[in-house]
Structure 1
Amino acid sequence: MNKTWIVRGLIVAAVLALAFALYKLLTPAGLPEGIVGGNGRLEATEIDIASKSAGRIRNIVVDEGQTVKAGDVIAHMDVDVLTAQKTEAEAQMAEAQNAVLVSQTQVAQRQAEKAAAEAVVRQRLAELNASRKRLGRSDTLSREGATSAQERDDDAAQVEGASAAVQAARAQVASAEVAVTNARNQVIGSSSRVEATRATIQRIEADINDATLRTPRDGRVQFRIAQPGEVVSGGGRVVSLVDLTDVTMTFFLPATAAGRLGIGSEARIVLDALPDTPIPARISFVADVAQFTPKTVETQSEREKMMFRVRARIDPALLRRYMSLVKTGLPGMAYVKIDPKTEWPPELQLRGALIDQRKGR
């Protein structure tokens, strides 16, 4: 039993010794007090190219590892159903436009009928006026005994008939006005159907355009998540990209260092694969909340364990120049100035083309 514990203790000691040796190997000797560092891995923004609507993948035109530019076509979704829907909507559009023309013709017809009814009203009013004049003369002659009472009664009946005819003609005018209003409403309804159908066509065309999947930014194809012929749901991922112009390294610093750190502070990244080539970077994020914080009231030693997450971002212009060499997941160390007046030690000084890049040449 004692031997087992001894073996376990030796293994733990060996692991700790190896970790300490690795830390010493990656940490430049004699860092000035104004510079601190932490280990991490390169990370890049991941982008999933997904289908907006459910459908079948017709083809994928990129391969894993391929570099693409913003706007490049990634894949095509099958659009046979959408094309059929567009054809149907275009037929409905033609039908609605024809309905508008028919409705406009009906408006003109109803307006003509109204004009005819108004003419009849004027005619009936003229007849009513003539009948009233005739009745006036008959009434005068009848009182003087120059004409019979029967003739006077006949003229009075004609006045009543003419008055009724005027009312009937005016009713025809009112009916014609209603017909005109109804015809105009039909024009509005038909025009609305035209606009609704036009909107449907535009929506279908937008869906057809969305069926061509494009990359929103420069990057490298990481995975082909689906394959041609597969059916994906709405929002189903087809291809995964990484944006190689947005590369960062996340590391942790103690509270004493993070408290003196600001956004935009100058940093250096040294990768294990390129130990002699410091890469210029800037601090783009400092966490507001510490991690690894003790749950109880902390002592001075416990406060020293409080770590803040920090992110250093490599200049996108530099990444574009060396995009073919950029690889995510590479381990390394990030160093940052917590005192702007501190000079970088020789092993963290920029070299060659990186100096030119920093100066914007």
Structure 2
Amino acid sequence: MNLNRNSLLIGAIAIAAAAGFAAWQWSQRNGEPPGIAIANGRIEAEEIDVATKIPGRVREILVEEGDFVERDSILVRLDAAELAAALARAEAELRRAEQAVIQAEAQVNLRVSQCALATKNYERTKQLFDSGHSTAERLDIQRTEKEVAEAACQAARAELGNARELVASMTAEVQRLKAQLEETEITAPRAARVLYRLAEPGEVLPAGGRIVTLIDPTYVFMTVFLPTGEAGRLAIGAEARIVLDAVPEITIPARVSFVASRAQFTPRQVETEDERAKLMFRVKLKIDSLLLEQYKERVKTGLPGVAYIDIAGERNWPAFLEQSLIN
């Protein structure tokens, strides 16, 4: 009987020891090591909404959701028929305006010559009048012709100025239409992946109408929330580790790139120490762009995971985070 009791006691001690060891292992992997903050979050990437700059009808969309696109590659073409016709009219008007400038310049040269001749005739007649060899009537006629020629010269110069202004205006109009015509081909602002296709061929969109949404697979981050005690000790640039639920065997290195200056969750009245401890601050953990460039084909947004953040700056990482770290 005593032997059975002793056997049961030894078995209970063994079970308790095994359970204690298992609990210790779990705490080493899932607990919160000294100086390390732990928080949950989701992987996010910078999103870029590509929209029309001018209103128009979508003629064709050259990408599908999930496609990778290079910088300046064409994503969408809008119908450009009306703009092309308007540009042709504006270019014709510009050519006519340039011809008008040539004619106005010739008219100015003619009026300047006539003005010079009228001035010489007037001065010659005045000399004759002063010497008593011409009449006052003749002098008045020459003076009038001189004034008429000067007025005609001024009018010709004004007409030339108007013609040049018209050329400048039509040149600006041609440039504006050419710029709008270029806007009918909408390009990718950077190398990215197509996340959403928001329009289809045939749709008429206003200026600013969104067509596709891109994500930059080299600008990926996780947003987490930390309480006051941890956020207050956190430094920009502090190291972090991210473990995704989908691939728990891999640890992704990251760094703190942003800490909110205001709490996100605030009680109505913050009076006691316990209430202040409930304040949560948003923190952004950015993954290195060079690392993401190597794995951009596998980058997926929305994946949940756990972030481990070195708030003490001591790099006291648990072994399982270092062993599975990718670089």
Superposition TM-score, scaled by structure 2 size: 0.88
- Residue identity opposite 1:258 in structure 2: A
Q: Alignment RMSD, CA only?
A: 1.9
Instruction: Note the alpha carbon deviations across 1:5-48, whole angstroms, 9 max, x for none.
Output: xxxxxxxxxxxxxxxxxxx9899334321101100101111111
**Cα offset, 1:248, TM superposition:** 0.8
Aligned 8 A contact 1:82 1:204 in 2: yes
State yes or no: 1:254 paired with 2:255. Answer: no
**Identical columns (%):** 42
What is the DSSP-based 3-state SS (H/G/I as helix, E as strand, rest coil) of the residue aligned with 1:114? helix
Distance in 2 of aligned mates of 1:306 and 1:56: 50
For residues 337 and 105 of structure 1, what CA distance do their matches in structure 2 show? 81
Superposition deviation, residue 303 in structure 1: 1.9
Residue 207 (structure 1) aligned with residue 174 (structure 2)? no
Q: Is the 8 A contact 1:278 1:348 kept in 2?
A: yes
Q: Which residue of 1 aligns with 2:18?
A: none
The amino acid that maps onto 1:74 is: L
Alpha-carbon distance in 1 for matches of 2:312, 2:265: 25
- Which of these two proteins has the greater Rg computed from alpha carbons? 1
Conservation of the 8 A alpha-carbon contact between 2:34 and 2:316:
no
Q: Cα gap change, 1:223/1:30 in structure 2, threshold over 3 Å: closer, same or farther?
A: closer
Distance across 2 between alignment mates of 1:216 and 1:313: 21
Map of 2:22 onto structure 1: none
Matching residue of 1:33: 34
Match for 1:318 among 280, 291, 300?
Answer: 291
- Residue 69 (structure 1) aligned with residue 42 (structure 2): no
Structure 1 residue 337 corresponds to structure 2 residue 310? yes
* Deviation readout 1:320-351 (Å, 9 max, x if unpaired): 11011000000001111011124211111164
Secondary structure, in 3 states, of the residue corresponding to 2:317?
coil
Contiguous gaps of at least 5 residues in structure 1: 1-23, 133-158, 356-361
Matching residue of 1:272: 245
Measured after TM superposition, the shift of residue 71 of structure 1 is 1.0
| Aligned equivalent of 1:242 | 215
Partner of 2:139: 166
1:26, 1:272 within 8 Å by CA — same for their partners in 2? no
* TM superposition score normalised by structure 1: 0.80
Residue 3 of structure 2 corresponds to none
Task: Kindly state the Cα deviation for residue 126 of structure 1 after the two structures are TM-superposed.
Answer: 4.5
Q: Do the aligned residues in 1 keep the contact of 2:32 with 2:38 (CA within 8 Å)?
A: no
Q: Given that residues 117 and 173 in structure 1 are in contact (C-alpha distance below 8 angstroms), is that contact kept between their aligned partners in structure 2?
A: yes
Taking the TM superposition and a 5 Å limit, the aligned residue runs for 1:74-153 are 74-131=75-132
Q: Partners in 2 of 1:25 and 1:223 — Cα distance? A: 41
Q: How many Å apart are 1:163 and its aligned residue?
A: 2.0
Alpha-carbon separation, structure 1, partners of 2:199 and 2:315 = 51
Superposed displacement of residue 288, structure 1: 0.8
Q: Judge conservation of contact 2:270–2:276 (CA < 8 Å) in 1.
A: no
Provide the residue aligned with 2:59 in structure 1. Answer: 58
Q: Which amino acid aligns with 2:211?
A: V
Q: How far apart in 2 are the matches of 1:306 and 1:29?
A: 24
Letter in 1 for 2:313: P
Deviation at 1:129, TM superposition (A): 4.2
Q: Structure 1: which amino acid aligns with 2:166?
A: R
Deviations 1:207-255 (A, max 9, x none): 1111111111121111111101111111111111111111111111110
1:179 aligns with 2:180: no
Q: Is the 8 A contact 1:218 1:245 kept in 2?
A: no
Gapped runs of 5+ residues in structure 2? Answer: 1-24
2:194 and 2:108 map into 1 onto residues whose CA distance is: 62
Partners of 1:32 and 1:342 within 8 A in 2: no
- Letter of the 2:167 partner, please give it: V
- 1:232 and 2:205 are equivalent in the alignment: yes
